[in-house]
Structure formats: structure tokens, C-alpha cells
Amino acid sequence: MDAIFLQLLNGLDKGGAYALIALGLTLVFGTLGVVNFAHGALFMLGAFCAVTFNKLLSLEKVVVDETQQTAWGTPLEVRTPYIESWFGEFGSFLLNYSVPVSILIAIPVMLLIGIVMERGLIKHFYKRPHADQILVTFGLAIVLQEVIKHYFGANPIPQAAPAAVAGSADIGAWLGLGDGLVYPWWRLVYFGFSAFVIAAVFAFLQFTTYGMVVRAGMRDSETVGLLGINIQKRFTVVFGIAAVVAGLAGVMYTPILPPDYHMGMDFLVLSFVVVVVGGMGSLPGAVLAGFLLGILQSFASMNAVMSIFPGINQIIIYLVAVVILLTMPRGLLGREGVMEE
Amino acid sequence: MKQMLNREPFALAAFSLVILLMPIWLTPFGANYPDLLQKFAIFAIFAMGFNILFGLTGYLSFGHAAFLGVGSYAAVWSFKLFTMNVLPAIVFGVAFAGIFALAIGYVSLRRSGIYFSILTLAFAQMSYNLAYSVLTPITNGETGLQLTLQDPRIIDNAFSTPGAGLPETNLFGIDMSGYPGFYFCAVVLIICFFITRRIFNSPFGLTLRGVKSNQNRMGYTGINTRPYTLAAFVISGMFAGLAGSLLAVTDPLAGAERMQWTASGEVVLMTILGGVGTLVGPMLGAWLIKYLENIFSSFNENTLEHFFSFLPEGLQAIAVDVSSLFVGEGWHLTLGVLFMLIVIFLPGGLMEGWRRLLRRFSGGGGGKSEPAVAVQPAE
């Protein structure tokens, strides 16, 4: 029972990341009709926003203290981050919370990147075949990841979660399930965060006028255009929002997985599977499939399961995707007439 | 000239001449060493085969590297178990890839469009992940499948005593490394070109083109398209298997990374870059990518400084800085940029560019030249 519950939790954080990326992918597909292979790169760029912010914050001032000596007999170098010497307590607080605080940086940056990307490149590909869209965004993804690799190197760069949530939560004690059940705090935070972002996106689309127009545009952009609304402009903003969602997923994922330049591609392939399983163009489908596949994946890596089906943890997602695509042609919650012949 | 090339014997002769003389005419480009030439021939086969599926039917497979990997593994196993002769290895490689393609194609072709792409991608990733983990007894996991001194090699050992050290792959006694290896691959490429050309001009090929322009209408005219697309899928899988086994022939080693989706992406790039649906386009794309990979990844700061030495000091430093982004480790950046440029400005690939050039220079007449072949997606 404990083990099953733990695997369920394990699936939630990964599922959260899949769901966030897949949500953005579906949003872009549903509004602009573009299959964006560079979406994984946006996830990676978000993660590197956090890395950059942390790097900036931890720039250090080196003071050589002649009065003290190190064990080697050289004068002791006292390193204090500038931010601490300038702001004191608040500075160390910022440094400690660099990952969550970089969300504030990531939002405008990703929004800008998203809008530039849409206006600069994707715009020209609305009318082109899906194959062309896939190819050009694939090229863009390669370019982005190579640029990141050039500036940050090929090695993963670990990021620390804030000290307050660095340990593990004793979930077993809360639920009266025994002592063995502990779970990293940050993963719980990630799950909560992804749930919050998903809720925010849905609320935006469901309860604001802006969102209503966007939804109408997803159904029939021509008619919305005829009503005198510049739907293209809104879709561009939606693309920006999708980029922000992917970026935030990346920012918060850095303490779980040290970011490197190809993390985007790794997640992209899975997220595409998630989108297709959920049903192209269906937002709830993407979220549902994201969590479902994340949880299934973590169940498949249980030892009990692995001993029956060796290697199942490696292929479970793809296997589920194949089965669902063959039995439910539109995915789990796909609408009729989207991407069909 | 044009009419002559349309006749089979001339086309084949011209093609053979170009391929077999590659060591000579590639000399000015600094690409005349056997390793690279072998790659040229092998990836040309891979891309040509991929084009039979993508170019003719419009089905975009994102998992073709799996067949390449299967071909490699089958060939290396043939070297390990039976003989170092390359012919059985190739037969095994092609056969296994064909069976594999039949199974995957049968399932995947039930869907089209992006669903088909995702299905093939899923199958390829499954093969890759399994090759890395559970199938280690067959694939030797991360290390990759290699020849060892303990291999049984039944047929070889029945006729001669094994020498010291690892044996070389051979074709009835001719070592398959260096130039003989290239000429072997080149002959195979010429045969493949012949087959592809026949397919392009056959009723079968026409049916496949029909699938690409409108599968529904093909159905209305009473043609069941599934067997045709499946045949195309299997044939292109076999081409990939052939390319994989040739990779093993020139270097008897097979690793799982050959099956990764980036490898599948690469063959898509080659085909697009050269020109989808054209006979020789994919081959040109494969050559260009392999050539750039070789040239750009070998550049370093020193060669760049030498290259820009004509510029004044400050400008030279800037030029070197900027261009160093694109070479050596970063050559993928070049690939990505080139790729984007091609898709944005020249969707028909190199062949489209060639056609545009021809049109511009053919007597200034704009209207009467051949109409450009419109590239249409599978619906």
C-alpha cells in the first residue's frame, strides 16, 4: 500500500511537467494550428532562466583577509555574493529562493521569446503543411539548444531548492500510513505549482472575456474575424502564454532535474506523445494524459512490475500511446474533426 | 541531354560514372577519403529509401532509424555467428529490417498524418530504449555490439583456422575497409538507384503518388491503398536495413544510438534538404549533411584564424568569435540554421533550387518551362 501510494506521488511531479508542456503544445495547436517542435526548447529556456538568475545572484566579491590563514598557509579568501553585501539578510533570502524568485524573471522573458518566435517565424507557417511546420520548428529547436550549449556548456547544472523545502516530507505520518513514507518536499511543491498554473490557464480561458474570444477563435477563427476582432493578435498572445507555461515548468523543474541543453528534446518527444494520447487540440485531454502517463511511468518502474515485465518502465509511455491511438482514434478526449482526414 | 537522361541505360551509366568517380571529383573539396565516401554512399541509400515512403506517399515517419539499427545488429550478428563475408550479413540485415518494418508498418499505417508520425516515433523509441536496457544480451547495451575473439563464426572456422586478432569483414577475400569498402557500397548504391528509379516510374509508384495527393479519392476510385503504402513502408525499411548493414560492413560495430530519434530526424533532414519526392535529391541532401558534418566539425579556432587572416586585427577577432559558434562542437547549430533556411525559403530543397536556376537561365522564357512539382502533404 505504501509503495503504491509512493509511486502515485512519484508520478505526480513528472506528470505535472508533462501536463504543463503538453498544455502549451495543445494551446498552440488549437489556436494557431501549428505543430511546434520547438516547444521543448522553451521548457529548456525556462530552466536556463533560473540558471542565469542564480548565476547573476551568486556573483561573488572576493576579499583577501590577511589576518586569517587557510590550512595551506595562504591568506584566507572571503567570498561574499554581492547581493548579500548589498542587501544583507534580504540578499541571502533572495539567493536561497533563487529558483522560485526566477519565476518573476522568467514570465516576461518567456513571454517576449514566445511573441518574437511567433511573429518572427511561426507566423509565416500557418498556411504551410504540417510537415513544414514540424521541420522548421525542429530546426529552431536545434538552434536554440546549440546556442544554450555554447554558453552554458554540455554538463547539467544542478540548482538547489530553497532550504526550507530541501528535505523530505513525512507523508506517512500525516496520513497514518506508517513511517516509511517520505517524499521530497520540492516535488510536492512542483505538483502544487503545476496544478496552480493549469488552473490559472483554464480560468483565464474560461472566465475572462479575452479567454472567451480565444476559445471562440479556436472553434472558428474566420467567424470571429468577421465580427471585427483581430483574432491573430490574441493568438500571438496565446502563443506567448504557452511559452510562459513551458518556461515556468522548466524553471521549477530545475531542482528535480539539473538542466542541460538537451532536456527540452527529451521532454518534447514525451510531451508530443502526451498530446496525441490526450487528443489533439483538447486542453483537458492534455492535462489528463500528462498526469496519467507520468503516474503509469512511475508505476512501471516498481520492482514488482519490473520483475514480471522487464524493461517495461522504458517503454510504457510509448506502449500506452500505441494502444490508445489504435483503439481510440482521437485520443482520450479529442474533438471530432481535428487533424483528421 | 534531358531526353537522353530519361532513358534508362543512359541514366544508369551517368549515375554509375558519377558515383564510381567520386574519389576523383570530390578531391578538390577535400572529401576524397574512404571513410567519408563510404558514409556518402550509405546515407544516400538510407535517404533514398526514406524518400520512397515520405516522398511518394507523404507519410512522414519519425522512426526510420530503428530499421537502420536493426539492420546493423543483424549484420554484426551474422559476422559473429556465421562468417565475415559481407553478403550474408547484408541479406540478414535487409531481411530482419523488412520483417520489422512489416510489423511496425502494419500497425502504424492504420493512422495517417501526425498520428502516423507519433506511432512510428513511439515504436522507434521503444526499440531504442529496449536495446539499451532489457535486450542487452542481444545488443550489448551501451557498449554496443562488437566482434570478439570468442565468436563461434561457424562457417569461417569450418574452412580455415582463425588467425590471431579480430578478423576483417570481406567479400570473398577482399577486405572491406578503405576504398574496396567504398566501391562495394557504391555498387550497392547504384543497384538501389536502379530499383528506386524503377519504382518511381512504375504504376506502383504512380499509385503511391496518388496516395500523397489525395488518399480519399484513391479510395473512391476503388483502390485499396493500404497494401500499397505498406509495401512502400517495407521497401523503405529494407533500404534502411541495407544502409544499417553496410554501416556494419565498413565498421563491424552496432550501437543503440543509431536508433535514437535524432537519427530518424537526420534522415528526414537529408530528404528535405535535397528535395522531397525527387529521385536524386535525398542523395544530394545526405551528401551535403555528411560533408558539412565532417568539414565543420573538424574546424577549430586556428583554422578559423587562418581563414580570416585577410581581415584587419579587430575584425578578424570578431569574425573568428562569431564563426566559432558554428564549427567544431557547434556544427549542429549550422545544421539547424541551414535547415531552417531551406524550409523557409526553399521548401523543395536543393532540387527546387536547381529547377529555379534552370528556369532563370533557360533562354529567359519564364512561362514555358516545366511546372514546379508542388509538394503536398498527406491528408
* pLDDT the model gives residue B104: 92
Q: Please, are residues A339 and B113 in contact by the beta-carbon 8 Å criterion?
A: yes
Q: Please identify which residue in the block is written with the cell numbers 545544421.
A: B335
CB atoms < 10 A from the CB of A131, how many?
25
The 10s digit of each residue's pLDDT in A171-224 is 767 766 666 677 788 888 888 999 999 999 999 999 999 999 988 888 888 888
Quick check: B338 pLDDT over 70? yes
Copy the grid coordinates of residue B277. Answer: 519526392
Residue count of chain B, please give it. 379
* pLDDT the model gives residue A334: 76
For chain B, positions 37-76, list CB contacts with chain A under 8 A: 58, 60
The rounded percent of chain A whose pLDDT value lies above 70 is: 96
**Is the Cβ of B102 closer than 8 Å to some Cβ of chain A?**
no
* pLDDT the model gives residue B215: 84
Domain that holds residue A321: 2-327
A333 in a domain, yes or no?
A: no
Neighboring chain A residues of B262 at a CB cutoff of 8 Å:
265
Q: What angle do CA B76, B79, B84 make, to 5 degrees?
A: 140
* pLDDT the model gives residue A80: 75
Instruction: Return mean pLDDT, chain B.
Output: 83
Question: For chain A, how many structural domains are there in total?
Answer: 1
Q: Which of B130, B216, B379 sits opposite A315 (nearest CB)?
A: B130
Q: Please identify which residue in the block is written with the cell numbers 513544414.
A: A132
Nearest-angstrom CA–CA distance, B131 and B260: 10
A338 in a domain, yes or no?
A: no
Q: Which residues pair with A63 in a beta bridge?
A: A78
CB atoms < 10 A from the CB of B377, how many?
16
The residue ranking higher by pLDDT, A122 or B7, is: A122
Contact (CB<8Å) B261/A130: no
How does strand A168-169 pair with strand A75-81? unpaired
Quick check: B365 pLDDT over 50? no
* pLDDT the model gives residue A336: 66
- The domain limits of chain B are 29-274
The 10s digit of each residue's pLDDT in A107-136 is 999 999 999 999 988 888 888 887 788 888
* pLDDT the model gives residue B146: 82
**Is the Cβ of B141 closer than 8 Å to some Cβ of chain A?**
no
- Nearest-by-CA chain A residue for B262: A265
Neighboring chain B residues of A136 at a CB cutoff of 8 Å:
339-340, 343-344
Contact (CB<8Å) A341/B113: yes
Neighboring chain A residues of B376 at a CB cutoff of 8 Å:
129
Q: Confidence class of residue B366 from pLDDT cuts 50, 70 and 90? A: very low
* pLDDT the model gives residue B368: 43
CB atoms < 10 A from the CB of B216, how many?
10
What number of H helices and E strands is found in chain B? 19, 4
The 10s digit of each residue's pLDDT in B55-104 is 899 888 888 999 999 999 999 998 888 888 888 889 999 999 999 999 99
The 10s digit of each residue's pLDDT in B143-174 is 788 887 777 777 777 777 766 677 777 777 77
* pLDDT the model gives residue B369: 42
* pLDDT the model gives residue B48: 93
Contact (CB<8Å) B268/A339: no
Kindly report the nearest CA distance between residue A139 and chain B, in angstroms: 5
Question: Burial, B344: exposed, middle or buried (Cβ in 10 Å; 0-12, 13-18, 19+)?
Answer: middle
* pLDDT the model gives residue A180: 67
ipTM reported for the complex, 2 dp = 0.77
Neighboring chain A residues of B114 at a CB cutoff of 8 Å:
35, 130, 134, 276, 280, 339
Which of these ranges, A61-65, A103-107, A258-262, has the smallest mean pLDDT? A61-65
Kindly report the nearest CA distance between residue B60 and chain A, in angstroms: 7
Neighboring chain B residues of A149 at a CB cutoff of 8 Å:
329-330
The rounded percent of chain B whose pLDDT value lies above 70 is: 92
Looking at residue A225, its amino acid is G
**Total CB pairs under 8 A between chain A and B:** 119
Which residue of B60, B62, B107, B114 to mutate against A (max A Cβ within 10 Å)? Answer: B114
Neighboring chain B residues of A341 at a CB cutoff of 8 Å:
112-113, 215-216, 379
For chain B, positions 219-238, list CB contacts with chain A under 8 A: none
A103 in a domain, yes or no?
A: yes
Can you spell out the DSSP letters for A228-278? T--HHHHHHHHHHHHHHHHHHHHHHHTTTS---TTHHHHHHHHHHHHHHHH
Among A103, A92, A99, A133, residue whose Cα is nearest residue A239: A133
A275 in a domain, yes or no?
A: yes
Q: Confidence class of residue B195 from pLDDT cuts 50, 70 and 90? A: very high
Mean pLDDT of B340-359: 84
Looking at residue B91, its amino acid is V
The rounded percent of chain B whose pLDDT value lies above 90 is: 23
* pLDDT the model gives residue A1: 66
The 10s digit of each residue's pLDDT in A134-161 is 888 888 988 898 888 888 888 888 888 8
- Give 3-state DSSP helix, strand, coil % of chain A, rounded to 5: 70, 5, 25
Mean pLDDT of A299-314: 77
Mean pLDDT of B109-134: 84
Mean pLDDT of B35-55: 91
Which of these ranges, A149-158, A252-261, B170-179, B210-219, has the smallest mean pLDDT? B170-179
Contact (CB<8Å) A135/B339: yes
A337 in a domain, yes or no?
A: no
Nearest-angstrom CA–CA distance, B347 and B373: 11
Q: Which of A143, A269, A329 sits opposite B336 (nearest CB)?
A: A143
| 1.20.120, 1.20.1330, 1.10.3470, 3.30.70: CATH of B29-274 | 1.10.3470
Quick check: B367 pLDDT over 50? no
Which of these ranges, A275-279, B51-55, B187-191, has the smallest mean pLDDT? A275-279
Contact (CB<8Å) A139/B261: no
**Is the Cβ of B346 closer than 8 Å to some Cβ of chain A?**
no
Mean pLDDT of A299-327: 80
A184 in a domain, yes or no?
A: yes
Mean pLDDT of A325-330: 80
A340 in a domain, yes or no?
A: no
Q: Confidence class of residue A279 from pLDDT cuts 50, 70 and 90? A: confident
Instruction: Return mean pLDDT, chain A.
Output: 83
